[in-house]
Amino acid sequence: MDKEISVVITGVAGKMGRETAKAVLAEAPALKLVGAVDPRADGKDLGDYLGLAEGRGIIIGGDLNRLLQGVKADVLVDFTNPQAVLSNAKTALEYGVAPVIGTTGLDEVDIAELREISERVGVAVLIVPNFALGAVLMMEFARRAAQYFRHVEIIEMHHDQKIDAPSGTAIKTAQMIAGERGSFKQGHPEEYEKVPGARGGEFEGLRIHSVRLPGLVAHQQVIFGGPGQILSIRHDSLHRESFMPGVIMAIRKVRDLRGVVIGLEKILD
């Protein structure tokens, strides 16, 4: 039988952290939740805080470094925010803990720094912009369609508590599409905006439009246009449970990886 994997979660009081705690606890004894951090719930009992019987006795900490001084862990799952994620991942690596990063917002400089530390300490980092299998397929289908269509725009739609725009998924999609072909055509060459931002943000030569509304969870539509036809590739996460099979897979596989790996597709069977 495989040895149990001990897991720590940062951002456990947030929307994704709560769902991840429940998913990890449900995978016992193969996965063991050994610690959780969130300044918002510092000192609270995890089970009581989340209303779960299984998590009783795990006291939520306010600081990852302090937690790892007293707890031996194999994997960190981070669902915090763009300000906290880099520091958490670096702390985990220094303790020999492999980070699974769901938080969006790391830039190329951050990733280069993580790559350097990962190589030095010999512990892998897995960064996953979207853990939902359907979203991974939506991005892959969009990459494929970009081989044939020159005109494409991305619309991503999220709940109104999301602080970053565009989404990490939209950025990854744009990078995958841009990797297929260098030049795109979007709109009229002489178009102008009467309202700033009306044509969305430009990234990798593509237009990305970000919608934020209560009622939404996480949705993205990649729209390709050609003479007389439209191809829409759309994915909807209707509940955060959609991300959990991917999160559990990432926890199980991250320690078999080397360096910094980006995207759930890299670990799919």
Ligand X SMILES: NC(=O)C1=CN([C@@H]2O[C@H](COP(=O)(O)OP(=O)(O)OC[C@H]3O[C@@H](n4cnc5c(N)ncnc54)[C@H](OP(=O)(O)O)[C@@H]3O)[C@@H](O)[C@H]2O)C=CC1
Catalytic amino acids? Answer: 158, 162
| Closer CB to ligand LZUJQKHR, 168 or 200, in the complex | 168
The stretches of 122-209 forming alpha helices (DSSP H) are 133-145, 168-180
- Work out whether 243 is an interface residue with ligand X (CB under 6 A): yes
Q: Name which of residues 71 to 130 contact ligand LZUJQKHR (CB under 6 A).
A: 104, 129-130
| Closer CB to ligand LZUJQKHR, 24 or 170, in the complex | 170
Order of strands, edge to edge, in the sheet holding 229-237? 201-203, 206-212, 151-158, 218-226, 229-237
Q: Name which of residues 148 to 207 contact ligand LZUJQKHR (CB under 6 A).
A: 158, 162, 167-169
| Closer CB to ligand LZUJQKHR, 143 or 162, in the complex | 162
- Work out whether 15 is an interface residue with ligand X (CB under 6 A): yes
- Determine whether the annotation assigns residue 207 to a binding site: no
| Least gap, CB of 97 to ligand LZUJQKHR (angstroms) | 23
* Rounded Cα–Cα distance for residues 256 and 34 (Å): 20
Q: Locate 157 and state its tokens.
A: 């739609």
Q: Enumerate residues 6+ apart whose C-beta is below 8 A from 188.
A: none
Of 5, 7, 8, 16, which lies in the binding site for ligand X, with binding defined by CB under 6 A?
16
C-alpha separations of 133 from 1, 39, 69, 212 in Å: 27, 31, 35, 22
* Rounded Cα–Cα distance for residues 184 and 6 (Å): 46
| Closer CB to ligand X, 73 or 184, in the complex | 73
Kindly report the backbone phi and psi dihedral angles of residue 47, in degrees, each rounded to the nearest multiple of 5, phi listed first.
-60, -45
Which one of ligand LZUJQKHR, ligand X, none is in contact with 13 (Cβ closer than 5 to 8 A by kind)?
A: ligand X
The alpha carbons of the chain give a radius of gyration, in whole angstroms, of 20
- Work out whether 224 is an interface residue with ligand X (CB under 6 A): no
The stretches of the chain forming alpha helices (DSSP H) are 15-26, 46-50, 64-70, 85-94, 108-121, 133-145, 168-180, 244-253
Footprint on this chain of ligand X (rule: CB under 6 A): 10-11, 13-17, 37-40, 79-81, 84, 88, 102-105, 128-131, 243
Binding site for ligand LZUJQKHR (CB under 6 A): 104, 129-130, 158, 162, 167-169, 218
